[in-house]
Amino acid sequence: MPRPFVTLESVATPVGPLELRRRGDHDFLICIKGRVLMTSVAHRSEDALAHFACEGLKDRRNARVLIGGLGMGFTLRAALDALGDDANVTVAELNAVVARWCAGPIAALTNNAASDARVSVVIDNVARVIAGARPATFDAIAIDLYEGPHTTVRPSDELYGASASAKVMRALKPGGTYAVWCEQKSVGFEQSLRSAGFQHTLVRAGFGARVHFVYLAKRKSK
C-alpha cells in the first residue's frame, strides 16, 4: 500500500482551503478545497506551455515574459531554461503562501526557479498586471491558472473575455506570443481571441489519463 500524503500546510482562501501535501521526499500535491490542482510527478503540460510561449526567445536580447500563476514552479523552470541569461520573467501569483512554498519546501523540485535572478514574483492578479502594463511590454505571456478557460466564456470575464484578450494584445510586443493552459476547448475564449485580432491554435499537451491543452496565439509582427 502506498503511503498516505501528509498535509504540510493549509491556508484559507475565498474558494476554500489551499493545501500543500507531501508523500516521501519528491511527491507533492497542491490542492484547493480537496481537489488536486497540480502534482510534482506530472507536469508535462506545464512544461509544454512554457516551451510554446518562449519558443524563439533564447537569443532575444532582454526578452520579457509574464507568467500568470506560479504553482509548483514547473512552468517557470521550463521558461527559464528556454530563455537567455539576460531575460526578465515576471510571475503574477495570487497567493503569497504559494510563493513561499516555491522558495521553501518544494524549491528543489525546480532547482530553485523562483529564486533565479531573472525572476520577479509579484503577489497580484495577473489580469491586473496585464491591464497595468505599458503597451508592447512583453515578448510572451503565459497563463497557467486552475482550470483555464471554461467551455463557455462570457465577454466580461476578466481573464479570458473579449476585453481581457484585447489587453493582452496591447501588452504584447509585435510578434509576441500568448499561451494559455486549459483542460478543454473553449468556444467563448476562441471568440475573445478572434475579437482581439489573434490567430490561434489549440495544441494537445498531455497524453493518457491527463490530457490537457494549450491555446497558442500570436500578435502580428506589424
Question: Do 163 and 170 touch, CB atoms closer than 8 A?
Answer: no
pLDDT digits 0-9 by tens, 168-195: 999 999 999 999 999 888 999 999 999 9
Asked if 50 and 20 sit in the same domain, the reply is no
- Supply the mean pLDDT for the chain: 92
Domain span at residue 7 reads: 1-41
In the chain, the number of structural domains is 2
- Provide the residue type at 105 as one letter: P
pLDDT digits 0-9 by tens, 99-149: 999 999 999 999 999 999 999 999 999 999 999 999 999 999 999 997 789
Three cell numbers, residue 41: 510527478
Asked if 159 and 70 sit in the same domain, the reply is yes
Asked if 1 and 63 sit in the same domain, the reply is no
Which pLDDT does position 211 carry in this prediction?
Answer: 62
Counting other chains too, the contacts that 93-97 makes at CB distance below 8 Å and 24 or more residues apart are 93/69, 93/121, 93/122, 93/123, 93/124, 94/123, 94/124, 94/125, 95/11, 95/13, 95/18, 95/123, 96/123, 97/9, 97/11, 97/18
pLDDT at 210 over 70: no
Asked if 209 and 179 sit in the same domain, the reply is yes
| Bigger pLDDT: 148 vs 88 | 88
Question: Do 29 and 42 touch, CB atoms closer than 8 A?
Answer: no
Phi, psi of 100 (to 5 degrees): -65, -40
Which pLDDT does position 147 carry in this prediction?
Answer: 75
Write the CB contacts of 1 (distance below 8 Å, at least 6 apart in sequence).
none
Question: Taking CA 68 as the corner, what is the angle to CA 106 and CA 11, rounded to the nearest 5 degrees?
Answer: 50
Residue located via cell numbers 528556454: 82
Split at pLDDT 50, 70, 90, the class of 51 is very high
Strand 6-11 and strand 18-23: the pairing is: antiparallel
Asked if 194 and 94 sit in the same domain, the reply is yes
Asked if 55 and 128 sit in the same domain, the reply is yes
Asked if 31 and 82 sit in the same domain, the reply is no
d(CA 101, CA 122): 14
Residue located via cell numbers 500578435: 219
Beta partners for residue 36, in sequence order: 31
Asked if 94 and 159 sit in the same domain, the reply is yes
The CATH number covering residue 61 comes to: 3.40.50.150
Split at pLDDT 50, 70, 90, the class of 86 is very high
Beta partners for residue 177, in sequence order: 140, 218
Which pLDDT does position 1 carry in this prediction?
Answer: 57
Asked if 112 and 188 sit in the same domain, the reply is yes
Cα dihedral sign, 84-86-91-96: positive
Asked if 6 and 116 sit in the same domain, the reply is no
Asked if 69 and 13 sit in the same domain, the reply is no
- Report the greatest alpha carbon distance in the chain: 59
Asked if 36 and 113 sit in the same domain, the reply is no
- Provide the residue type at 63 as one letter: A
pLDDT at 208 over 60: no
